[in-house]
Amino acid sequence: MVLDFDRLRVEMVEEQIRARGIRDEALLSAFARVPRHLFVPEEERRWAYGDHPLPIGYGQTISQPYMVAVMTRELKVRPGLKVLEVGTGSGYQAAILAEMGCEVFSVERIEPLYLRALRLLGELGYLGRVRLKLGDGSLGWPEEAPFDRIVVTAAAERIPEALVEQLSPGGVLVAPIGGPLFQELHVCVKTEEGLKVKVGEGCRFVPLLKGVEISSKDREV
């Protein structure tokens, strides 16, 4: 059976994202353009447009489409903004942000995932708008700071201070904060008095870990 991924992608946007109240047309258009099925392992592609996360290897996942959309909406991005992503994973969130006109800097700690995302984003023509780094995402990307927006795609008990320092005044940081089994989405705005925090809906992400995992496998780009 040959799947019609274009049709499935349109259905995903309409039934999972627009139907749940997200009306930002630039966001919806970006989700309609990015081929999500290419960001998951081949054996998972038949489920790529389902309403759920999927495994991408190395204990990591690609988030549910709706959750990616919620985090993107809360970032309030617009063309020209400089965005730091902590946790490249599959590269899907970076591609969405690039489609919305952002300059994206994304850090991944697991070398095979970094190489896979680098290869795929290059093949899809995103590397002009997305820069990737193999490193400890909890440390951010100080050489490129400050950032207008920061999105953290892994769960932490608290927001790493390095990320707060690298956020521009007035900038927005979105991250899942909580324990290992359940978190809440925190939307933070950097003010002169500190972070102004709004707690959003519940979610479940893999943990934000420190350090870098280097592997001798899958090194070709």
Q: Is 215 a catalytic residue?
A: no
- Nearest CA to 208 out of 122, 74, 108 is that of 108
Alpha carbons 213 and 135: distance in angstroms, whole number: 9
Nearest to 94 by CA among 180, 75, 169: 75
Q: Which of 74, 179, 91 is nearest to 133 (CA)?
A: 91
Tell me the backbone φ, ψ of residue 99, rounded to 5 degrees. Answer: -65, -25
Entry field: residues in the chain: 221
- How many secondary structure helices (H) and strands (E) does the chain include? 6, 9
Check 29, 63, 106, 215 and give the catalytic one: 63
Are the beta carbons of 208 and 151 closer than 8 angstroms?
no
Nearest 5°: phi and psi at 48? Answer: -60, -30
Catalytic residue positions, numbered: 63
